[in-house]
């Protein structure tokens, strides 16, 4: 008997070792190698900007000569830092060396996930509305739901792109060699050497422009973001890629460019997107006046619809008249044969879901507490872009194309949703139980489908070899909403088409932005 016990104890011990060994979790991008651009894109100073009227709209004064004692002092700072790098500093350099646009996008996705929580109702069954002027009081500002997130990603990416165009312009104007190229006693620590001039520092431009934008978008996070910006700048100096003067000039340039975007954002109508109780009831009466069944919230207590006036936000890729022109035909009316068929189809999917359908639903759910569908497409894109060995400015350009597309997709989608104000399947047939949370806004057309149709279209243009992969991912994302029980097939299929149409505007821009 003892034998049995000891054998089993031994077996347990082995299994334990196996289990404990695989405990450490490493993110997909945690250990990326240092970036090594296969093209420095030295002509990027002439690429087409988004808001900046000229690459030199903001003046960056010439750097002090390399003979200046100030420059020598800057080199000393690097050398003394490099003499005593500890493990933490080494890890910080390696983290940022994978790419500034990439890392800031990841940081932002984390913030979106952190703030993507719908407020708890008040005791009187109303709901509190987050207040940008008091972001730290509950409910925290922002509630970074999909439209909010899409706009935030859009502004940050567009601002980073313009700021880097200005940065490249000055880099090529002043042609200041990087410290590791100028002084042989400065090493390139945990980074790859590049011939790209270092003044102003692209890392600091990114730190400055992003930190400044985030004051508007995530005002409760200013201290954390400022710490990240300083960490990136310090890492860049320690790596030997830039001097203190390169950093200072870069950060100032980045912050100035951000101000342009912040001014636009303050006037783009997003601040009014929550609407008023009168706006909310107007949607209902307008729909009923047409003899149609209006959407209502399936939450208890009924929650006001998510950002109903977001459709009024000013798009990046086209004007507001185009938003209206992208509206599809009306969905089948509640009670029509077609709608009855659509509802029955939804019911068929949720009754006994296959494991594969559950996987698809959860894979694409991107609901409460996540970085939202735009963040999911950012993750897909960023991880593919990394393999392309882009320069920072090209990485920024492609993320800007993607995120301006996603923001405009949100605007167009919200226009359609609130124009038709169509109910969800579970409202039409309360017996429909869903495999993911029902979003608190009208059904037609599916947001996931518009986002995915738009993202796959522009990403397929940027990386043609992946075009069919992106398009099948988009279709899966769209269909996940049908098999999850929260959308009719029409919402998804029409949504993809609308998204593709939005994506085509981004392609048009990409074909004419001076980048090849």
Does residue 433 bind other proteins (CB under 8 A)?
yes
Does residue 33 bind other proteins (CB under 8 A)?
no
Neighbours of 51 (CB within 10 A): 15
Does residue 117 bind other proteins (CB under 8 A)?
yes
x-or-dash string of contact with other proteins, 439-458, rule CB under 8 A: --------------------
Does residue 274 bind other proteins (CB under 8 A)?
no
Residues binding other proteins: what is the number (CB under 8 A)? 57
User: Quick one: 118 or 332, whose CB is closer to other proteins?
Assistant: 118
| Of the candidates 418, 406, 386, the residue with the CA atom closest to the CA atom of residue 499 | 406
- Selected range binding other proteins among 26-34, 202-210, 251-259, 447-455, rule: CB under 8 A: 26-34
User: Quick one: 76 or 363, whose CB is closer to other proteins?
Assistant: 363
Kindly state the tokens that stand for 169: 């312009």
Kindly state the tokens that stand for 20: 């404990």
User: Quick one: 198 or 426, whose CB is closer to other proteins?
Assistant: 426
User: Quick one: 109 or 244, whose CB is closer to other proteins?
Assistant: 109
- Selected range binding other proteins among 3-11, 59-67, 220-228, 329-337, rule: CB under 8 A: 3-11
Does residue 370 bind other proteins (CB under 8 A)?
yes
Cα 143 to chain centroid, rounded: 15
User: Quick one: 116 or 181, whose CB is closer to other proteins?
Assistant: 116
Q: How far is the CB of 362 from other proteins (least distance, A)?
A: 4
Give CA–CA dist 433/352, Å, rounded. 11
| Of the candidates 461, 454, 463, 452, the residue with the CA atom closest to the CA atom of residue 389 | 463
Q: How far is the CB of 271 from other proteins (least distance, A)?
A: 23
Does residue 34 bind other proteins (CB under 8 A)?
no
- The one among 391, 436, 446, 449 contacting other proteins by CB under 8 A: 436
Give CA–CA dist 465/266, Å, rounded. 39
- Selected range binding other proteins among 183-191, 219-227, 317-325, 431-439, rule: CB under 8 A: 431-439
User: Quick one: 8 or 468, whose CB is closer to other proteins?
Assistant: 8
Does residue 369 bind other proteins (CB under 8 A)?
yes
x-or-dash string of contact with other proteins, 472-491, rule CB under 8 A: -------------x------
**H-state helical runs in 98-201:** 100-115, 146-174, 179-182
**H-state helical runs in 290-428:** 320-325, 337-351, 355-363, 372-386, 392-420, 425-428
Give how far Cα 287 sits from Cα of 43, 362, 425, Å. Answer: 53, 32, 17
Residues 6+ apart with CB under 8 A from 289: none
DSSP state letter for 28: T
User: Quick one: 58 or 153, whose CB is closer to other proteins?
Assistant: 153
Q: How far is the CB of 24 from other proteins (least distance, A)?
A: 8
Give CA–CA dist 502/450, Å, rounded. 8
x-or-dash string of contact with other proteins, 93-112, rule CB under 8 A: -------------x--xx--
Could you tell me if 374 and 446 are in contact, meaning their C-beta atoms sit under 8 angstroms apart? Answer: no
User: Quick one: 67 or 123, whose CB is closer to other proteins?
Assistant: 123
| Of the candidates 441, 241, 456, 422, the residue with the CA atom closest to the CA atom of residue 342 | 422
Does residue 65 bind other proteins (CB under 8 A)?
no
Residue 445, preceding bond cis, omega within 30 degrees?
Answer: yes
Classify burial at 278, counting beta carbons within 10 Å of its beta carbon; exposed 0-12, middle 13-18, buried 19 or more: exposed
Angle at the Cα of 499 (from 484 to 216), degrees rounded to 5? 95
Residues 292-311 that bind other proteins (CB under 8 A): 298-301
User: Quick one: 12 or 324, whose CB is closer to other proteins?
Assistant: 12
- The one among 5, 61, 124, 321 contacting other proteins by CB under 8 A: 5
- The one among 61, 88, 267, 355 contacting other proteins by CB under 8 A: 355
- Selected range binding other proteins among 182-190, 206-214, 428-436, 497-505, rule: CB under 8 A: 428-436
- The one among 371, 390, 414, 444 contacting other proteins by CB under 8 A: 371
For 218-287, the DSSP string reads -GGGHHHHHHHHHHHHHHHHHHTS--HHHHHHHHHHHHHHHHHHHHHHHTSSGGGTT--HHHHHHHHHHH
Does residue 368 bind other proteins (CB under 8 A)?
yes
Does residue 279 bind other proteins (CB under 8 A)?
no
Give CA–CA dist 474/503, Å, rounded. 12
Q: How far is the CB of 11 from other proteins (least distance, A)?
A: 8
- The one among 240, 314, 363, 385 contacting other proteins by CB under 8 A: 363
Kindly state the tokens that stand for 381: 């894109």
- The one among 158, 159, 432, 445 contacting other proteins by CB under 8 A: 432
| Of the candidates 419, 421, 412, 420, the residue with the CA atom closest to the CA atom of residue 447 | 412
Could you tell me if 503 and 455 are in contact, meaning their C-beta atoms sit under 8 angstroms apart? Answer: yes
Where do contacts with other proteins occur on this chain (CB under 8 A)? 1, 4-5, 8-9, 12, 15-16, 19-20, 22-30, 106, 109-110, 113-114, 117-120, 138, 298-301, 350, 353, 355, 358-359, 362-363, 365, 367-371, 376, 379, 426, 432-438, 485
């Amino acid at each position: 008997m003892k034998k049995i016990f000891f054998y089993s104890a031994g077996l347990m011990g082995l299994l334990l070792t196996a289990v404990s060994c695989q405990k450490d979790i490493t993110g997909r991008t945690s250990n990326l190698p240092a970036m090594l651009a296969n093209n420095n894109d030295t002509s990027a100073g002439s690429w087409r900007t988004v808001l900046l009227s000229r690459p030199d709209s903001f003046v960056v004064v010439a750097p002090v000569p390399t003979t200046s004692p100030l420059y020598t002092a800057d080199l000393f700072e690097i050398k003394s830092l490099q003499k005593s790098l500890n493990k933490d500093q080494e890890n910080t350099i390696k983290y940022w060396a994978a790419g500034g646009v990439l890392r800031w996008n990841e940081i932002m996705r984390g913030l979106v996930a952190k703030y993507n929580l719908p407020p708890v109702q008040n005791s009187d069954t109303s709901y509190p509305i987050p207040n940008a002027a008091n972001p730290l009081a509950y409910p925290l500002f922002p509630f970074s739901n999909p439209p909010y997130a899409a706009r935030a990603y859009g502004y940050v990416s567009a601002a980073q792109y313009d700021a880097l165009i200005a940065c490249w312009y000055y880099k090529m104007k002043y042609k200041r060699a990087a410290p590791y190229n100028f002084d042989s006693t400065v090493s390139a620590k945990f980074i790859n050497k590049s011939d790209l001039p270092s003044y102003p520092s692209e890392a600091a431009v990114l730190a400055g422009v992003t930190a400044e934008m985030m004051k508007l978008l995530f005002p409760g996070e200013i201290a954390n973001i400022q710490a990240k910006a300083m960490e990136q700048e310090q890492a860049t100096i320690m790596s030997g890629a830039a001097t203190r003067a390169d950093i200072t000039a870069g950060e100032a340039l980045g912050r100035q460019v951000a101000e342009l975007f912040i001014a636009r954002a303050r006037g783009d109508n997003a601040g009014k997107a929550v609407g008023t109780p009168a706006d909310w009831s107007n949607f209902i009466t307008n729909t009923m006046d047409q003899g149609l069944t209006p959407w209502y919230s399936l939450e208890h207590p009924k929650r006001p619809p998510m950002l109903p006036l977001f459709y009024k936000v000013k798009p990046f890729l086209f004007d507001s008249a185009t938003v209206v022109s992208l509206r599809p035909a009306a969905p089948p009316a509640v009670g029509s044969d077609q709608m009855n068929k659509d509802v029955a189809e939804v019911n068929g999917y949720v009754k006994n879901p296959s494991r594969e359908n559950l996987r698809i639903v959860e894979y694409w759910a991107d609901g409460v507490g996540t970085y939202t569908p735009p963040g999911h497409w950012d993750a897909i894109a960023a991880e593919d872009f990394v393999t392309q060995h882009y320069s920072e400015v090209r990485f920024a350009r492609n993320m800007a194309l993607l995120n301006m597309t996603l923001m405009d997709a949100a605007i167009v989608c919200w226009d359609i949703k609130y124009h038709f104000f169509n109910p969800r399947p579970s409202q039409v047939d309360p017996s429909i139980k869903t495999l993911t949370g029902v979003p608190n806004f009208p059904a037609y057309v599916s947001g996931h489908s518009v986002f995915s149709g738009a993202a796959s279209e522009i990403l397929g243009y940027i990386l043609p070899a992946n075009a069919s992969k992106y398009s099948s991912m988009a279709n899966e994302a769209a269909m996940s909403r049908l098999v999850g029980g929260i959308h009719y097939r029409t919402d998804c299929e029409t949504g993809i088409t609308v998204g593709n149409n939005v994506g085509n505007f981004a392609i048009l821009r990409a074909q004419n932005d001076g980048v090849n």
